[in-house]
Amino acid sequence: MTLNPALDLTYTVDALVPHATHRVGHVAERAGGKGLNVAGVLHALGEPVLATGLLGGATGAAVEARTRPPHRFTAIGGETRRTVTVLDGVDATGLWEPGPVVTGEEWAAFRAHYADLVKDAAVVVLSGSLPQGLPADAYAQLVRLAQRYRCRSVLDTSGEALRLGAAAGPDVVKPNADELRALGPDVPKPGAGGLHALDPTDTAVVESHGPRGLIARTPQGSWRAAPPEVVTGNPTGAGDACAAALARGLRDGTPWPRLLADAVALAAAAVAAPVAGEIDINHYRATRERVHVQPHG
């Protein structure tokens, strides 16, 4: 589920020079947004998945046309945002449009649509930033709706949306270490404390440490999972591949050590894939039995 998707444009130029005009050599265009990446990974793995969220305008139509997994979005009056990433020989420069302002009526329409979907779903993944106009507790509302229909939930966001959403008690929160630190006074000690206001008997905290793997504190115990080797590549979408693995494992009741190994391997397979939001399936198969998982804390 992606409340704030984007049309991701990637431009290749020789060198980005401020205040000059550049002829773009190559343009790549894809449906962006963390939840769309999660759905894309599950779809590539052959899992039944439905992508949803908010889309509007011509840019929203372009995102929908480029969304490969099955999807049912809610239409909004505003225009879905674009992101422009300019690649030169050195690194990436990002330009992020502010995106639409969602009205109260649109948010109510989405919640009704979402309630219909979670009735029939085993797990929902709630990913990414909130568009303008939504209440800060939007994810908390969606977590509670999922609970009402006995649908499990994975929350992957940051800042106030994470703090308020986590307080509603999703099954898993998947912050990265930076996102946890950004919570300020609510920062838990990574791998030792917990998200403030979380009931540790209910919610698992799976904390991402980038290329060094995951630390999970769960009602069943705590583990550290690390990849067998460092993978070089494109880290965009690695966290979303990890969230996809968590969702699948929750649905299947996979024991945590095996689930965490799977999540680390899928994240590494996303880094190894050249295109953001995709996975290298052979890399995944070759890695998942070799992830180091050990009790922690």
Residues in contact with a second copy by the rule CB under 8 A = 9, 11, 13, 16-27, 58, 61-62, 65, 82, 84, 86, 88, 90-98
Nearest 10 degrees: Cα torsion 154, 165, 134, 240: -30
CB 59, min distance to a second copy, A: 8
Residue whose CB is less far from a second copy, 85 or 203: 85
Residue whose CB is less far from a second copy, 17 or 192: 17
Residue whose CB is less far from a second copy, 24 or 230: 24
Q: How many CB atoms lie within 10 A of CB 16?
A: 16
Helix pair angle (256-272, 238-252), 10° resolution: 150
Which of 240, 252, 262, 280 is catalytic? The answer is 240
Q: Provide CB contacts within 8 A for 77, sequence distance 6+.
A: 56, 100, 103, 106
Taking the C-alpha atoms of residue 113 and residue 135, their distance in angstroms, rounded to an integer, is 18
CB 101, min distance to a second copy, A: 13
CB 94, min distance to a second copy, A: 4
- Which residue has 């909130």 as its token pair? 130
Whether residue 252 lies in the annotated active site = no
Report which of 160, 242, 238 is spatially closest to residue 204, judged by C-alpha positions.
Answer: 242
CB 125, min distance to a second copy, A: 24
**Is 113 in contact with 74 (CB distance < 8 Å)?**
yes
Residue whose CB is less far from a second copy, 95 or 192: 95
Catalytic positions are 240
